[in-house]
Structure 1
């Protein structure tokens, strides 16, 4: 059976531990390959490789670094079907969604290719008599990324293209259920001309991964996952003097006003709630319907569409492509089913039950059917916690004021949206909602690559967001230089605070 290995100092290698974990096709439940599990020493080897590669890479001209990324992007385009097939086989998402993930990741690579412009400093001449001042944006050193299962290509590409473009070296720790895409990305980077040691991939458990938050050679850590782990990584890595951007859980809300275009709104909610089986941090699992009539109209339109969802394996392409695939693992399937059980026990009205969904010919697949709850309240577990599955809950409120209070009361603030044709409500929502990413008549307001992605409240730990301008700021540090060149005149010593005006 194929074993997915590490990529350290430009070479694919298996762990000396001999330990592996199974990699399962979620649509069939079959083990399709295995992934090596590295020792702490092998993680240290990867960090050492990146540390040794940093001096030369950081001194490489930004334009030369950008050219490697241009070549890498061309290779991604050339191999996109191959990469999509790996993602579908290990994650389970449908083909078009896997291609969409790659496209969004490639957009960050394209953004990073502009690094000669993005990392320019500032210059001020004659800030004082014969004195000039300017700033330099310099790389940090070795940086690390710890990424989640739901976007095995896109989320790493949120991080490493900008980090590499800025002159840093990188160690990536991918998730065990979906290991292959990251290894293939490493191979394509090497083919594009990236020097050995600049980018490394290590598959490992928590003990070896913890070195990324404590080893003094690591200067910054980027993380995407659950809020509990995000907070732990932020606290631990910060205590060791590292920069951290750690993105956690989400519970994104959609306020639907009575004046909303009902057909467009329902179409948007379907994609936001059930796309990628709800396994997105920007999924749309809660609708806050303003008025009972609004809720009733939404349910009447949503019900037949949810029941008609084409659910099945993700490798079907073309006109027969499924709309939703399985969830990632048996354990996650049971977790999602447990939330449906709990929602029913706590009093939400279960309108469509996805617990016993069966796909013909895929009896062992990890499928959950589209699920719909009505009369969800803010004291229920299915409102408070991130389900990360194809479960949509409708909260009924009397007016807009109650709707915005409901949204803002949640501990997570990743993204929120409003559906309305009223500009007053739209503008007020944009100003008042407590979320980092906001949509108006947009179900999944993920920023494009040249803007930055990040939430508020317990959805994020750290001051700087990912990709866009914040990504460049995160992976560089500013050095400000003040210069004066003597012209033969005697310079008198000053013992007071120097002023240059």
Structure 2
């Protein structure tokens, strides 16, 4: 009998949200067999026909959005409004890449020899693998699947076993839209499944989103056999607040960036670095903003901060807070798990930490939850220095009314994505997404037209049309 994975509702762990079959390494081999056959069919399918499938799948997802969102919330915990927005985002990503599949990609021009035309074309890689996380269970699979399929590849997808339901809903829509058999296969399981997928010789490329520790191990295995690797790894994202900034706006920006989705975003604001003149006013304003937030179940329309994904995540966050407090930090808001009606869920109250410093987990590492550290800086140069004092470089933001300061920040910050007077989270389907330093698993970007670079290869063609 096949083993199973049981997921409990993060808002009340006494309730079972879903149960899934757990796959094995042998299942991965069988999935790659089917994908190899599917790649032969899909790779020869004209771009406009690929586009039609993606468009149809997007329509089905839009029609099913309410049910998909409810299922995601029961399994992963996020606000149902966020889950619905994420589901519609997945549909938008499919439509964007449907448009890319309809276009001709390449360049044409005269060759060096007379009577010869030279042009380039993009070709699929064949079978590609995707390993996706639990925090955006339908959007991240969509933004990997869509360009992979638009480019003509077959895909073996391994969603996180913490929340695979969104990925399964996405694949169901693609199949119902007419995607041929074998073009997308799904495997669910732990490290043995991931290792088998990384090692299969038919997998020409693997795209991964997750922690640095796991991502680095996957990259080594994939690149050791000469396959492509794309990684979107961790982040320890700073928001700089200069003394001239509007304090109320900066506080809303910080709190929204730190505690949206309970801080379970790779782009969430982890550190707020404030010029000393604005430090105390901003800290007070953040306290007021947090006091107005309601922590509660994702299916409750009044909730603003949902639970963490499971008890393990809850413990990890509480341990990080305790380590900071024992090292001298003070929790000016939150700092503990939910009580009363929340005690059966995986809740951590939104936590703002002051008096923080190096050596604390909340400063040095990515703490994937509703925790935000606030620290002072002596001017913009010091603030940028503190912001860059991390091995990560995913997203960064600044609040200021000084145009010169804003562009000084843009030029000097070590981040793949930069925001001015906006929170650190935020990305559009048509714009490249990715980081630098430890946040970047490779030089390949996700989303936008840039995503197609990873999932295809260029072929240069010379045609001599003036034959003597």
Q: Same fold (TM over 0.5)?
A: yes
Query: Which of these residues, 309, 313, 316, is aligned with residue 335 of structure 1?
Result: 316
**Aligned 8 A contact 2:151 2:456 in 1:** yes
Query: Which of these residues, 300, 304, 311, is aligned with residue 288 of structure 2?
Result: 304
**Aligned 8 A contact 1:153 1:182 in 2:** yes
Please give the secondary structure, in 2, of the residue aligned with 1:127.
coil
Which residue pairs with 2:442 in the alignment? Answer: 462
Mapped to 2, the partners of 1:118 and 1:299 lie a distance apart of 50
Q: Single out whichever of 24-33 and 427-436 deviates more from structure 2.
A: 24-33
- Structure 1 residue 231 displacement after superposition: 1.2
1:103-118 matches, within 5 Å, as 103-116=88-101, 118=103
Which residue pairs with 2:3 in the alignment? Answer: 19
- Structure 1 residue 119 displacement after superposition: 4.7
Which residue pairs with 1:41 in the alignment? Answer: 26
Q: How many residues align?
A: 467
Deviations 1:254-292 (A, max 9, x none): 00001111111111111111100000001012100111x
Please give the secondary structure, in 2, of the residue aligned with 1:241.
coil
Mapped to 1, the partners of 2:337 and 2:199 lie a distance apart of 45
Q: Single out whichever of 470-479 and 378-387 deviates more from structure 2.
A: 378-387
Matched, 1:94 2:91: no
Which residue pairs with 2:233 in the alignment? Answer: 248
Matched, 1:412 2:392: yes
Change over 3 Å in CA distance of 1:359–1:94 after alignment to 2: farther
Change over 3 Å in CA distance of 1:205–1:126 after alignment to 2: closer
- Structure 1 residue 364 displacement after superposition: 1.1
Which residue pairs with 1:391 in the alignment? Answer: 371
- Structure 1 residue 380 displacement after superposition: 2.1
**Aligned 8 A contact 1:351 1:372 in 2:** yes
Which residue pairs with 1:323 in the alignment? Answer: 304
Mapped to 2, the partners of 1:475 and 1:123 lie a distance apart of 21
Please give the secondary structure, in 2, of the residue aligned with 1:285.
strand
Matched, 1:353 2:353: no
Question: Which runs of 5 or more structure 1 residues have no equivalent in the other structure?
Answer: 1-16, 489-501
Question: Which runs of 5 or more structure 2 residues have no equivalent in the other structure?
Answer: none
Which residue pairs with 1:499 in the alignment? Answer: none
**Aligned 8 A contact 1:24 1:177 in 2:** no
**Aligned 8 A contact 1:142 1:170 in 2:** yes
- Structure 1 residue 153 displacement after superposition: 0.5
- Structure 1 residue 136 displacement after superposition: 1.1
Mapped to 1, the partners of 2:348 and 2:111 lie a distance apart of 67
Change over 3 Å in CA distance of 1:297–1:37 after alignment to 2: same
Mapped to 1, the partners of 2:50 and 2:101 lie a distance apart of 9
Matched, 1:280 2:265: yes
Mapped to 2, the partners of 1:96 and 1:456 lie a distance apart of 31
Query: Which of these residues, 117, 126, 140, is aligned with residue 141 of structure 1?
Result: 126
Which residue pairs with 1:180 in the alignment? Answer: 165
TM-score if structure 1 supplies the norm length? 0.91
Which runs of structure 1 show a deviation greater than 4 angstroms over 4 or more consecutive aligned residues? Answer: none
Mapped to 1, the partners of 2:407 and 2:240 lie a distance apart of 13
Deviations 1:67-106 (A, max 9, x none): 1111011111100111101110011111111122223322
Mapped to 1, the partners of 2:83 and 2:338 lie a distance apart of 23
1:192-271 matches, within 5 Å, as 192-271=177-256
Matched, 1:73 2:58: yes
Which residue pairs with 2:424 in the alignment? Answer: 444
- Structure 1 residue 391 displacement after superposition: 0.8
Mapped to 1, the partners of 2:358 and 2:434 lie a distance apart of 24
Change over 3 Å in CA distance of 1:118–1:475 after alignment to 2: farther
**CA RMSD of the aligned region, Å?**
1.4
Change over 3 Å in CA distance of 1:374–1:53 after alignment to 2: same
Please give the secondary structure, in 1, of the residue aligned with 2:409.
helix
- Structure 1 residue 145 displacement after superposition: 0.6
Which residue pairs with 2:467 in the alignment? Answer: 487
Change over 3 Å in CA distance of 1:126–1:410 after alignment to 2: closer
TM-score if structure 2 supplies the norm length? 0.97
- Structure 1 residue 208 displacement after superposition: 2.1
Please give the secondary structure, in 1, of the residue aligned with 2:244.
coil
Please give the secondary structure, in 2, of the residue aligned with 1:75.
helix
Q: Single out whichever of 475-484 and 371-380 deviates more from structure 2.
A: 371-380
Mapped to 1, the partners of 2:401 and 2:102 lie a distance apart of 39
- Structure 1 residue 142 displacement after superposition: 0.5
**Aligned 8 A contact 1:230 1:460 in 2:** no
**Aligned 8 A contact 1:136 1:478 in 2:** yes
Deviations 1:20-45 (A, max 9, x none): 12101000012232221111111111
Matched, 1:122 2:102: no
Query: Which of these residues, 303, 314, 321, is aligned with residue 298 of structure 2?
Result: 314
Matched, 1:153 2:138: yes
Mapped to 1, the partners of 2:100 and 2:288 lie a distance apart of 49
Query: Which of these residues, 337, 356, 381, is aligned with residue 401 of structure 1?
Result: 381
